C-alpha cells in the first residue's frame, strides 16, 4: 500500500481544546474497537488519537463509523490499522470536498440564472449573437468592397 502522508494543520486550538478533541477521538476509536470486538489497550488508543488529530472531525466521524459497521476480511485484525483509518479519512475528505464543490456550483448556477432573468438586457442570446456576428461580417465585407 502506498504511503499516506498527513498534512499537519497549524491551528489556534488551545492545549485544553486539543486535549478535549483527543479525548473525544479516543472515545470514537474505542467505539470502533467495541463494534469490531477488538481488545485495544489505552496506549494504542492514545497513539492513534495523536496521529489522527490532524484530520477534520467532519471527516473522522464517517470514516470511524465505516469501520464500526465494516465486516472484517478473513485473517484481518479486529482493530483497523492506522494506515487503513487514514486512507478512509482521506476518502471521506475527498467525498466531502467533491460534494461541497457540487453544491457551490449548483448555487452559482442558480445565482447566474436568477441574474439573467432579472437583467436580460445584459446578456445576448446565442441566436442574437450569431445574427450580430453575421451582420458585422456583412458590414466588413461591404467596407472592403467599397475601398
User: Is 52 exposed, middle or buried, given 0-12, 13-18 or 19+ CB atoms closer than 10 A?
Assistant: buried
d(CA 138, CA 142): 6
Q: Tell me, what's the pLDDT at 14?
A: 62
**What mean pLDDT comes out for the span 87-91?**
98
Please state the separation of Cα 33 from the chain's center in Å. 26
Q: Of residues 32 and 145, which shows the higher confidence score?
A: 32
Give the residue among 90, 95, 96, 89 at the shortest CA–CA distance from 29.
Answer: 89
Q: Tell me, what's the pLDDT at 146?
A: 84
Q: Tell me, what's the pLDDT at 129?
A: 76
Q: What are phi and psi of 109, to 5 degrees?
A: -65, -40
Amino acid at each position: 500500500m502506498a504511503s499516506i502522508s498527513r498534512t499537519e494543520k497549524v491551528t489556534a486550538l488551545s492545549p485544553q481544546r486539543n486535549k478535549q478533541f483527543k479525548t473525544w477521538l479516543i472515545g470514537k476509536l474505542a467505539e470502533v474497537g467495541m463494534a469490531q470486538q477488538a481488545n485495544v489497550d489505552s496506549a494504542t488508543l492514545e497513539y492513534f488519537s495523536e496521529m489522527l488529530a490532524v484530520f477534520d472531525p467532519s471527516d473522522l466521524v464517517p470514516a470511524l463509523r465505516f469501520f464500526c459497521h465494516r465486516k472484517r476480511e478473513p485473517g484481518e485484525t479486529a482493530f483497523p490499522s492506522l494506515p487503513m483509518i487514514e486512507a478512509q479519512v482521506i476518502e471521506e475528505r475527498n467525498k466531502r470536498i467533491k460534494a461541497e464543490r457540487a453544491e457551490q456550483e449548483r448555487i452559482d448556477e442558480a445565482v447566474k440564472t436568477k441574474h439573467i432573468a432579472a437583467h436580460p438586457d445584459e446578456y445576448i442570446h446565442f441566436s442574437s449573437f450569431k445574427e450580430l456576428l453575421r451582420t458585422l461580417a456583412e458590414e466588413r465585407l461591404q467596407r472592403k468592397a467599397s475601398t
